[in-house]
Structure 1
Amino acid sequence: MSELRKQMKIYMDLKGYSPITTKYYLNHVGNFAKYYKKSPDLLGEKEIREYLHYCITERHLTEGSVGSIYAALKILYTKVLNQVWDINKIPRIKERRRLPVVLSPEEVKDIFDATRNIKYKTILMTIYSAGLRVSEVCNLKVTDIDSKNMQIFIKQGKGKKDRYSLLSKSNLQILREYWKTYKPEEHLFSGRYRTDAITTRSVQKIFQKSKEKAGITKPATVHTLRHSFATHLLDAGTDICYIQRLLGHTRLTI
């Protein structure tokens, strides 16, 4: 790792960025340097503008991906190299707001029915029933399931915030069936070798296979289960502020 990237990592660690965000941002900076075959401290405003334009027009990256690259380079130049960042000359790409894909209750049930493996079905049901992010279900510990108070503890979710979400009776039932078969010790859902937590990529693959088996053609991802959870609660008349707290959102959006 170059000295610049090392200093950037130190800054992000001190600011409390998540390890995943830090990794991605450092990769963005590395790709920027590789594109010009020069150290970023030898590059400036002109090269940043041209690189972002290249990412949009040649690589055809999404607005979110370009925004992530923009944020990484801004940290490098303003916090590590102490340079001025003129937003008028280096504007941030505007992200289009798209309505999230939502599955109907029947489609959600079809996905669960198509998931024959008890562990995989439990993972998907827990995501939907509690409105979890995929990283949150992967990080769950056995002790996070509070059957006495019918709630699930989510530790250090997005934004490093702790919260509680719902533990439904049907979710608790399948969790108990799953526990009898797998008897997890620390991580509620461990990986192949039972030493670490299951990966987010594995959960994403599980969802896609079940969705295909269920014959659902919507462009849904595992995150769609979280959107569907919120939408179905809203449709049932649940107060939006309560839904917001369950999701761990700071704004009234789902």
Structure 2
Amino acid sequence: MTEEKTTRLRERMIEDMRIRGMGDKAQKGHIRAIKDFAAFLRRSPDTATPEELRAYQLHMTNAGVTPSSFNARIIALRFFFGITCGREEMKRCMQFQRKPQKLPVVLSVEEVADLLAAAPGPGLKYRAALSISYGAGLRASEVCHLKVTDIDSERMLIHVEEGKGGKDRKAMLSPGLLDLLRDYWRAARPRGWLFPGQPKINPISPRQLNRAFTSAKHMAGIAKPATLHTLRHYLPCRTMSGN
């Protein structure tokens, strides 16, 4: 199988993903999964047989691939064979793994308060950003890409543009969170991005926000394996659909 054909196949898959509005992160994950399958086969993946697909799943299981990674690769393979290759019959040979149920990490109200108070400086930027994740249930990428104009103090709403799945939605804004955001705005006077990075024409990155969370957790003396993703799940009814 020539490298030229493999490149054409990759380009076609990227086109198929773009047509369906798949985000860049998901596209890269799908491409990595197909590359891994091709490395296992040692030839172009579109030539795989059902038996080889079964062998690959056994290989992943024996290699200790986690259920999350295993299932992510299966999703990519289903897309590749079903959409890009037009080989729907191959999907019958794929099996998802059941994820073990784990108890969620829970922080007390006092621990959350200590964590937010310990958010790194200068100023209130990271404290305000982490408070939005906790108080409004936003993902890291959604917090980072907020604009000043997304804060609707009249209707007490936060406008979230192109959240998960590329959909816009609205999150509820509490009076306490609004007060904090006003204090932050009066001190920092951000324009455009609510939480500007360096240079200010760009927003802070999710990686920076995650580092701020880790630093705050350490400074607050919290040993639990909580993550920023954990923080946003405290109040499942905080958000509502928006048109």
Q: Under TM normalisation by the shorter chain, which class is it?
A: 0.7 to 0.9
Contact 2:126 2:212 in 1 (8 A): yes
Matches of 2:202 and 2:181 in 1, distance apart? 19
Unpaired stretches in structure 1, ≥5 consecutive residues: 231-242, 249-254
Is residue 18 from structure 1 mapped to residue 23 from structure 2 by the alignment?
A: yes
Note the 1:14-163 alignment, pairs <5 A.
Answer: 14-58=19-63, 60-86=64-90, 89-117=93-121, 118-163=124-169
- Secondary structure at 1:129's aligned position in 2? helix
Q: CA deviation at 1:130?
A: 0.5
Contact 2:53 2:93 in 1 (8 A): no
Matches of 1:46 and 1:152 in 2, distance apart? 51
- Secondary structure at 2:159's aligned position in 1? strand
Contact 1:142 1:184 in 2 (8 A): yes
Contact 1:132 1:247 in 2 (8 A): no
- Secondary structure at 1:143's aligned position in 2? helix
Contact 2:115 2:220 in 1 (8 A): yes
Residue number in structure 1 paired with 2:188:
182
Q: CA deviation at 1:86?
A: 4.7
Task: Give TM-score scaled by structure 2 length.
Answer: 0.87
Q: CA deviation at 1:47?
A: 2.9
Residue number in structure 2 paired with 1:165:
171
Is residue 3 from structure 1 mapped to residue 29 from structure 2 by the alignment?
A: no
Note the 1:172-251 alignment, pairs <5 A.
Answer: 172-230=178-236, 243=237, 246=239
Matches of 1:22 and 1:192 in 2, distance apart? 27
Q: For 1:98-122, what per-residue CA distance to the aligned partner results, in whole angstroms no more than 9, with x for missing partners? A: 3322221111001012114121111
Unpaired stretches in structure 2, ≥5 consecutive residues: 1-5
Contact 1:207 1:222 in 2 (8 A): yes
Task: Give TM-score scaled by structure 1 length.
Answer: 0.83
Matches of 2:190 and 2:53 in 1, distance apart? 48
Q: For 1:122-180, what per-residue CA distance to the aligned partner results, in whole angstroms no more than 9, with x for missing partners? A: 11001111011112112211111011221111122223332211212221222222223
Q: CA deviation at 1:211?
A: 1.0
Q: Which runs of 4+ in 1 moved over 4 A?
A: none
- Secondary structure at 2:234's aligned position in 1? helix
Contact 1:138 1:199 in 2 (8 A): yes
Matches of 2:222 and 2:179 in 1, distance apart? 26
Gap change, CA 1:191 and 1:50, over 3 Å in 2:
farther
Gap change, CA 1:80 and 1:53, over 3 Å in 2:
same
Identity score, percent: 36
Contact 1:33 1:40 in 2 (8 A): yes
Q: CA deviation at 1:75?
A: 0.8
What residue identity is the alignment partner of 1:147? S
RMSD over equivalenced CA pairs, Å: 2.2
